[in-house]
Every structure is written in structure tokens, then in C-alpha cells.
């Protein structure tokens, strides 16, 4: 037990940390702005429920602390509708501020700029009133350590992303955490620049973001062909669900060293990969027009090609995925003067039904390919997988309560994976993968806790746990 003097010091430090913190309730935007301008660490500022109209942005430029953030919210989640010219705008030196529980129906973008940090958007509904022909995002983030969680972003038809992540100079915003959000009904904006999430830009693409994008649901997101466009390095995309978004891709467009695992894609255009050393594993892809595309490069950034190029994929590993009834399963398309892809590993995947297991363009190079341990069943043939790279056998897949195929007892996929693949530490259920691993996205562990599944609207957004 700590000595009495230590306990007294701890108690005094806690009291000091909370000194000045208070809860305030206001009933007008003017009073809200005044209270925010004077906010201290630990303050909670509550706006009475109702509909409010802005004529200018509400500025947040105060700093809380990690232990005592500033919280700005309505009386009840969803209790305040904010309309008019603009909403909240964070400004330096804002830090450790949580903005939660609002319905944003105003016209102006929600901005979290560089110079702020550790700010959070949580449990809001975002449906901005962007005029027809407008080209602005719902949320623009260039700050480090931002958290965006349990929001509903919906009903967009104009150019501009739902979430646009940028940065400063050549550095992408770092350590973003985007999770448990419900993105839906982004209709075709009929031009490039309407990704649901764009994580970076060409000029930022060689910088490391170390962002985590997880447990988000994307439903009917067809603003353009890229639902997510990753344009930076070192990010993780895991346990997201992409549903009923035909023509839409999870696109690794620029950057290197990203992880894509445990994602569910149904009725989309699958996963597309450019850049180097990406790991794509434990993903579940069913009923897509295309499941996985390894890009055919038109430049090599490491050799000085423009950052805007389609960087040749080098040393990418596509393993332990389950592909079911996709029109095209795995492909590299042709390209005039294409550089192809080098040293691509395609291993321990289960491919059941649909088109040929693999279709690799003969018009571009594909040197150093590794094909091993794949299990195919009732496809339109093995295609370009060599005989040494697969077996043909029924994987004994059975649907679970979410309608997703898992391994059943006696499957030849169980304990039969070849190679070690240390990056493949989890399956599509979020379960650990002990050695020897099972082929495909599912590790057969019927009694282990499940941490991930195909998401529904009840799992995400403002009312989710």
C-alpha cells in the first residue's frame, strides 16, 4: 500500500486537475460561442435541445487535456439540429475537445485543421446542405490524433468526400482513428473526387499516416469508383463492411506498407492495389463484380516516377482471403505499356464459385510471382494459377447467422495452410490465428469469442454501443 504522503499527493493532484472544471448549459448560439471561448479543461458545455440557425462558423480554439477534455454536446444525443451558413470550426490551439451528439444540416464543411490535436467528433449525424454543383467535403481533417467515431454520414450527391484527410507540406495527418461510423447513400457524383473517405493526396502519399480505419459500415456508397482511396503510407483498414455499392472499391491508390484485413465486401468492385509491400489478408469477398485486383503499374515511384502515377505494385502479399461467387476473382488487367506487378504472393486463399480463380494479363510483366496453398472449388477453372499453387476440393463452407460463409468441421482448409505469414495474426472474426493456420479468411475456432462480423446499421452510428 502506498505511504500516506503519496496518497495525499495523488489526491491533491487529482483535485488540481479538476479545479475550475464545470458544467454549463446554454440556450443560444451566442451564449454557446461565448462559453466555448472561455472553456477550461474538464468543462462540459451543453446546448439546450432544439433547432438553431448559424450565420457564421462557431469557433473552437480552447484546449483541454487528456485527462480532462472539453466536451460540447446537446442535452440529448441528436437533440440539436444545426442549420444555416456554417457549423463548428476548430482552430489552433484547440486540443482534447470532443464535439458529440449534434445533427449537422448546415452548409459549411466541418474543419479540423493542422495546429489542433486530439480532437474528437462522436455520435453526430452529418448531412450538410451543399448546393447542387458544389465540391466540398463533409469533414476536412489535417490535424494529428483526430478521432471520428459513431457518426452517421449520409445522403451526399455532390463532389467532395464525406471525410477528406489531408495534412501539411508533404506530411499526411497522423494517427487518425476512424471507427464505428455509418456511411450511406452517397450517390454517383459523375466525376472524380467523390470518394467516401480519401485518406491523403498524391503529394502526401510517401508520408506515413499510421491511421486506423476500422469497424465502419459503407452502404450504397457509389459517389465514384473508389469508396475509400488510400493515398498515404502505413495505414490499417480492418473489420469494415462494404455492402451494396456496385462499382465501388476499397482502393489502395498511392503509398506503401498498408494492412487490409478482416474487411467484408459484398456487391462491390472489391479491393484494388497499387504501391509496395501491402498485406491483404483475412478479407471476405462475396458476390462482387471483381474481388481483388493487383494493379498494373504505369510508373515506378521509387525510381522517380510522378507521385500521381499508378505506382507498380511490388512485394505485395494477398493471402488467407475467402472469395465466393465473384464474377472476377483475382486479376491483373492489361495496360498499354504497363509495368505490371512484381513479386506478388497469392497464397492460402479459398476461391469458391464465380469466374476463373486468377486472370493475369499476358501483355504486361508479372515476374517473381508466388502461388501456393490456394484452395479452389467450382470456379470457371484455375485460370493463371499454376498447378503447383492450388488444390481443387470442397472447402465445406457454411453460412452463419449473418449470412457469411465460414469453415465447417472436416474442411480440408483446416490446419492446412502452407508457409508461416506472421502478419496474418487474426481472421475475419477478429479471432487469433494459431499455427498451423487454416486456409481462407476464417480460422475454425467455433468456441472462441467473436470480435468482428459483417456489420449492420445497428452496429454503427450515434445509437450504437
Mean pLDDT of 335-361: 98
- pLDDT at residue 20, as a whole number: 65
Contact 286, 313 (CB under 8 A): no
Query: 189-237 pLDDT, tens per residue?
Result: 989 999 999 999 999 999 999 999 999 999 999 999 999 999 999 999 9
Q: Is the pLDDT of residue 19 over 60?
A: no
- pLDDT at residue 3, as a whole number: 45
pTM for the model stands at 0.94
Mean pLDDT of 101-109: 97
Contact 372, 347 (CB under 8 A): yes
- 322 confidence band (pLDDT: 50, 70, 90): very high
Mean pLDDT of 264-277: 98
Which residues form the domain of 158?
130-387
Q: Is the pLDDT of residue 17 over 60?
A: no
Q: Alpha-carbon distance 48 to 226, whole Å?
A: 39
- pLDDT at residue 9, as a whole number: 38
Collect all residues with Cβ–Cβ distance below 8 Å to 24 and sequence separation of at least 6.
Answer: 35, 43, 44, 45, 46
CATH number at residue 191: 2.160.20.10
Collect all residues with Cβ–Cβ distance below 8 Å to 258 and sequence separation of at least 6.
Answer: 230, 233, 234, 235, 236, 237, 252, 275, 278, 279
Query: What does the buried/exposed string (b/e) look like for 322-355 if buried means 16 or more CB atoms within 10 Å of the residue's CB?
Result: bbbbbebbbbbbebeebbbbbbbbbbbbbbbbbb
**Is 42 among the domain residues?**
no
Q: Is the pLDDT of residue 297 over 60?
A: yes
**Is 421 among the domain residues?**
no
**Is 75 among the domain residues?**
no
**Is 202 among the domain residues?**
yes
What is the C-alpha radius of gyration for the chain, rounded to an integer number of angstroms?
A: 24
**Is 23 among the domain residues?**
no
- pLDDT at residue 15, as a whole number: 41
Mean pLDDT of the chain: 95
Mean pLDDT of 73-96: 97
**Is 14 among the domain residues?**
no
Query: How many domains are there within the chain?
Result: 1
Q: Alpha-carbon distance 46 to 51, whole Å?
A: 14
Q: Is the pLDDT of residue 12 over 50?
A: no
Amino acid at each position: 500500500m502506498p505511504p500516506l504522503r503519496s496518497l495525499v499527493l495523488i489526491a491533491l493532484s487529482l483535485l488540481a486537475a479538476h479545479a475550475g472544471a464545470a458544467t454549463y448549459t446554454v440556450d443560444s448560439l451566442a451564449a454557446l460561442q461565448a462559453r466555448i471561448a472561455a472553456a477550461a479543461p474538464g468543462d462540459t458545455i451543453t446546448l439546450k435541445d432544439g433547432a438553431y440557425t448559424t450565420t457564421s462558423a462557431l469557433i473552437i480554439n480552447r484546449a483541454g487535456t487528456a485527462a480532462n477534455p472539453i466536451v460540447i454536446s446537446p442535452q440529448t444525443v441528436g437533440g440539436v439540429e444545426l442549420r444555416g451558413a456554417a457549423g463548428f470550426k476548430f482552430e489552433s490551439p484547440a486540443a482534447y475537445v470532443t464535439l458529440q451528439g449534434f445533427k449537422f444540416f448546415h452548409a459549411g464543411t466541418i474543419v479540423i485543421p493542422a495546429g489542433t490535436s486530439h480532437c474528437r467528433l462522436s455520435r453526430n449525424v452529418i448531412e450538410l446542405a451543399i448546393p447542387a454543383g458544389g465540391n466540398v467535403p463533409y469533414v476536412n481533417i489535417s490535424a494529428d490524433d483526430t478521432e471520428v467515431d459513431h457518426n452517421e454520414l449520409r445522403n451526399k450527391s455532390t463532389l467532395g468526400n464525406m471525410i477528406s484527410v489531408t495534412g501539411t507540406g508533404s506530411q499526411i495527418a497522423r494517427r487518425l482513428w476512424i471507427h464505428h461510423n455509418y456511411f450511406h447513400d452517397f450517390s454517383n457524383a459523375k466525376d472524380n473526387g467523390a470518394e467516401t473517405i480519401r485518406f491523403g493526396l498524391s503529394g502526401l502519399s510517401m508520408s506515413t499516416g499510421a491511421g486506423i480505419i476500422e469497424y465502419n459500415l459503407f452502404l450504397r456508397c457509389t459517389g465514384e469508383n473508389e469508396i475509400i482511396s488510400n493515398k498515404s503510407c502505413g495505414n490499417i483498414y480492418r473489420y469494415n463492411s462494404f455492402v451494396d455499392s456496385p462499382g465501388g472499391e476499397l482502393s489502395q491508390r498511392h503509398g506503401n506498407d498498408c494492412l487490409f484485413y478482416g474487411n467484408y465486401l459484398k456487391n462491390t468492385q472489391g479491393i484494388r492495389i497499387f504501391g509496395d509491400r501491402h498485406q491483404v489478408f483475412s478479407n471476405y469477398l462475396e458476390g462482387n463484380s471483381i474481388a481483388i485486383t493487383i494493379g498494373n503499374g504505369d510508373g515506378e515511384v521509387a525510381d522517380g516516377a510522378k507521385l500521381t502515377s499508378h505506382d507498380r505494385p511490388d512485394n505485395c502479399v494477398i493471402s488467407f482471403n475467402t472469395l465466393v461467387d465473384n464474377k472476377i476473382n483475382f486479376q491483373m488487367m492489361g495496360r498499354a505499356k504497363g509495368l505490371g506487378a512484381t513479386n506478388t504472393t497469392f497464397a492460402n486463399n479459398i476461391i469458391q464459385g464465380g469466374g476463373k480463380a486468377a486472370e493475369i494479363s499476358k501483355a504486361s510483366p508479372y515476374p517473381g510471382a508466388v502461388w501456393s496453398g490456394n484452395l479452389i472449388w467450382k470456379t470457371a477453372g484455375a485460370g493463371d494459377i499454376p498447378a503447383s499453387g492450388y488444390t481443387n476440393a470442397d472447402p465445406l463452407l457454411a453460412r452463419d447467422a449473418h449470412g457469411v460463409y465460414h469453415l465447417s468441421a472436416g474442411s480440408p482448409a483446416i490446419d492446412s495452410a502452407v508457409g508461416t505469414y506472421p502478419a496474418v495474426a487474426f481472421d475475419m472474426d477478429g479471432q487469433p490465428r494459431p499455427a498451423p493456420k487454416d486456409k481462407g479468411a476464417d480460422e475454425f475456432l467455433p468456441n472462441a469469442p467473436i470480435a468482428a462480423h459483417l456489420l449492420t446499421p445497428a452496429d454503427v452510428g450515434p445509437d450504437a454501443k
